[in-house]
A and B are shown apart, each in its own frame.
Chain A
């Protein structure tokens, strides 16, 4: 029994089937936000006309307005 005065039942798993969907979606939304911030930094307040991301070569092309 630990400091808490409780001996946890080790036969049960409280982490079972924890979905990682929302964690993955958060990472994706952060990636989109980063692209938007990059467009603002590169093109200023006018923003970008289009953004082409080359995932294979890790390259992004921003066409400013």
Chain B
């Protein structure tokens, strides 16, 4: 079986896969301790997921799954589901990593839409730093290429601006995500960070409405404030390029409040449900009043 083709570029033979931390198989359930999700699993899928515990080579796992009664299609669907919740950890050698990057690039150039691996990181200071660095990995490579192009094109100021901008973005995105984590952490839950290509998000237990809005407001605000502080420092020491880069980064953080993106979406969803809730309360209280007024004495 060609694992790479069947999984749309997610895994290849020789990779070692395991269940991501925070996930646990218990009876007919797949528990996600990060957000309290309880996914119901079939008996066959339970056996196949159980063996993932400590990590297993893809070809061995495939052979076990087929022996357990799963079809090729069911097995692939299971991997794609696990990846959609950031539930599969993949380990591969450097050589295999280079091989998969080349293969994925070739496929992308041919117009094939591939699966992006979703990795989980613990929401600790170190975890956040590693997650943000991982999400910005491709952007950093792109920035270095663009900076070299700008220098060749006789525009070194553009190169400096993009390099400083990316450094400020890295630092302020860590602050942005850290704020989300601080607000969404409670005594009985530990959130996790999921990185999917260029996107990263915090997965946590359902928060009370006000706290959810506060988290969605405070994250970007933290990013903006920290970028503004760096900009002010740059302005004070006459490093105008730092001030200019900080201004650009402030715009990127503010873009998170747009209704089509993460934080903006969370705010608009909460406000919509708040309105629906108040309408419902109004309707129920009016009918209750009507019942009270029409009740015979």
Contact = CB atoms under 8 A, between A and B. Distances in A.
A17 B202 contact: yes
A36 B263 CA distance: 33
Contacts of B223: 21
Interface in B142-195: 142-143, 145-146, 149-150, 152-155, 158, 161-162, 165-166, 169, 173, 176-177, 180, 194
A3 B154 contact: no
Interface residues of A, number: 42
B277 interface: no
A29 B201 contact: no
Interface string A34-65: 01110110010111110100000000000001
A47 B152 contact: yes
B149 A4 contact: no
A35 B166 CA distance: 18
A37 B149 CA distance: 7
A14 B84 contact: yes
B201 A17 contact: yes
A6 B169 contact: no
Contacts of A26: 138-139, 142, 198
B74 A33 contact: no
Interface string B234-258: 0000000000000011011101101
A6 B256 CA distance: 32
A2 B74 CA distance: 9
Contacts of B162: 29, 32
B173 A19 contact: yes
A39 B139 CA distance: 22
Interface of B: 30, 32, 35-42, 44-45, 48, 70, 73-74, 77-78, 80-81, 84-86, 135-136, 138-139, 142-143, 145-146, 149-150, 152-155, 158, 161-162, 165-166, 169, 173, 176-177, 180, 194, 196, 198-204, 206, 215-216, 219, 223, 248-249, 251-253, 255-256, 258, 261-263, 266
Interface of A: 1-9, 11-12, 14-26, 28-30, 32-33, 35-37, 39-40, 43, 45-49, 51, 65
26 contacts: A5-B74, A6-B40, A7-B39, A8-B37, A12-B36, A14-B86, A16-B262, A18-B199, A19-B199, A19-B200, A19-B261, A19-B263, A20-B199, A20-B258, A20-B262, A21-B223, A21-B253, A21-B256, A22-B173, A22-B198, A22-B199, A25-B166, A30-B146, A32-B146, A36-B155, A43-B153
